[in-house]
Amino acid sequence: MSVLVQTGAMLLLVAVAGSLADRFGQSVIPAYLAAGVVLGPYPPTELFGFPTTFTPDEAAVTLFHELGLVLLLFFLGLHVDLADVFADARRVLSAGGIDLVVNGGLGVLLGVAFGYDPVSTLVIAGVVYISSSAIITKSLLDVGWIANPESDPILGTLVVEDLVIAVYLTLLSAVVLGGGTVEGVAVSLAKGFGFLAVVAAVGWYGTDYVERAVTTERDELLLLRVLAVTVLVAGLAVQFDISEAVAAFFVGGALAQTDEKDRIEHIMSPARDLFAALFFVAVGLHADVRAIGDALPLLVAAIVASVAGKLASGYLSGRVYGLTERRSARVGAALVTRGEFSLVLASLAMSADAVANGVAEFAIAYTLVMALLGTTLTRYEGRIAGLVGRHTDATTQSSAAS
């Protein structure tokens, strides 16, 4: 089968999976993941008696995977508005700090409690900590919360998470790629932060030059220039043992300082969505769900603990912003969703010998469940609050009668 036919078949499957998810009002990310798992070489290899295994060209899958990852993190960097952070630093950093301590701490506790080594615990902590900016932002638009007061602590928390994940990924890449020795990690960290410092300095102090380099009246030329710069810098980062995703984040942050930010976002969004979809399918293709069995206790504990953690930290963040109890509860409900960044960590765990077996599969299964759970909580928050309210009223009346 030619690469062209395989690519066409993959795109068709992605379209069908996304359409089904959209039909049932769910995020498309779990659908793309599930499609990859079903089509991959690991069980299940058939559905209703029909074989499902699909083995596309590995080089094509790797290219889709890397481009999707680069574009996801590029857009993340494009969205981080440091001016907003500095304008309301006290409340933004308070909300982000509560989120980091509660949910990052829960991840560390889970890794230690289940006997994982430090590197695997670091991966588990990141998977449990980081919410999905893409799914949450889309959910806020869908349910109409984007203009409400609760969107301020939600978006503030996501901005802090985005900044933390950039540093975290650099650190994790150094630990995973540094060969496991203190010297190796130190060298990798020095090279990583040195390279990123150069990229950040160019973006911060050379905004005018960056803007002149990419600006053109023709949309396709702007798209090509931005893509070329982003992919080239990401590729160079790999030569320095840095995650290509982190480098793409910094390129996005540099271009966010230019007057072309909104136009770049508009022009590149379709490319991001396409390659992001293929990234999720590619992650699913490499997932051996049989490994989830060994990590099932961790999976169940992580789901229960992290839902409670996000609800609690979100509620506290809402109160920091002076919101009512109902709106504060909405903040927690919105932040439950996990997505693309947990899968970035799953992808890194798959390629790293230093990470224990089963951690990557745990991350994929966890993300799938949390994406479904988070979008459902946000979409039906009103009905859930109504049920809780009626239950509370009934309990109160019963107590009063007795």
Predicted local confidence at residue 177, as pLDDT:
61
The SS3 of residue 51 is strand
The C-alpha angle with vertex 262 and arms to 195 and 163, in degrees rounded to 5, equals: 40
Per-residue tokens: 33: 């993941």
Predicted local confidence at residue 393, as pLDDT:
45
Q: Which residues of 353-386 are buried (b: 16+ CB within 10 A; e: fewer)?
A: ebbbebbbbbbbbbbbbbbbbbbbbbbebeeeee
The per-residue DSSP string of 150-216 comes to: THHHHHHHHHHHHHHHHHHHHHHHHHHHTTTSHHHHHHHHHHHHHHHHHHHHHHHH-HHHHHHHH--
Predicted local confidence at residue 397, as pLDDT:
46
Predicted local confidence at residue 400, as pLDDT:
42
Report whether 122 contacts 62 (CB < 8 A): no
Predicted local confidence at residue 390, as pLDDT:
53
pTM score over 0.85: no
Predicted local confidence at residue 375, as pLDDT:
80
Predicted local confidence at residue 80, as pLDDT:
67
Predicted local confidence at residue 365, as pLDDT:
87
Burial (CB count <10 Å: 0-12, 13-18, 19+), residue 393 = exposed
Residues 68, 280: Cα–Cα separation, whole Å: 8
Q: 295 Cβ partners below 8 Å, 6+ apart?
A: 358, 359, 361, 362, 365
> Which residue matches tokens 């999707």?
68
Predicted local confidence at residue 1, as pLDDT:
65
For the chain, the C-alpha Rg in angstroms (whole number) is 21
- Tens place of pLDDT per residue across the chain (402 aa): 677 787 787 788 888 888 988 888 777 877 888 888 888 887 777 777 777 777 777 787 788 878 888 887 788 778 766 666 667 888 988 999 999 999 999 999 999 999 999 989 999 999 999 998 777 876 776 777 867 888 889 988 988 887 788 788 878 877 776 555 667 777 777 777 788 788 878 877 888 888 888 888 899 999 999 999 999 998 888 877 677 777 888 888 888 888 898 899 899 888 888 888 888 888 788 777 777 777 889 999 999 999 999 999 999 999 999 999 889 999 999 999 888 778 888 878 887 777 888 898 899 889 888 888 888 888 787 777 666 555 544 444 444 444
Predicted local confidence at residue 43, as pLDDT:
77
Predicted local confidence at residue 388, as pLDDT:
57
Predicted local confidence at residue 392, as pLDDT:
47
The backbone torsions φ and ψ at residue 46, rounded to the nearest 5 degrees and listed phi first, read: -155, 150
Q: Which domains does the chain have, with CATH numbers?
A: 63-388 (1.20.1530.20)
Which has the closest alpha carbon to 12: 35, 41, 43, 45?
35
Residues 94, 218: Cα–Cα separation, whole Å: 43
Predicted local confidence at residue 275, as pLDDT:
85
Predicted local confidence at residue 299, as pLDDT:
94
Q: Which residues of 199-231 are buried (b: 16+ CB within 10 A; e: fewer)?
A: bbebbeeebeebbeebeeeeeeebbeebbebbb
Q: Are strands 50-51 and 46-47 parallel, antiparallel or unpaired?
A: antiparallel
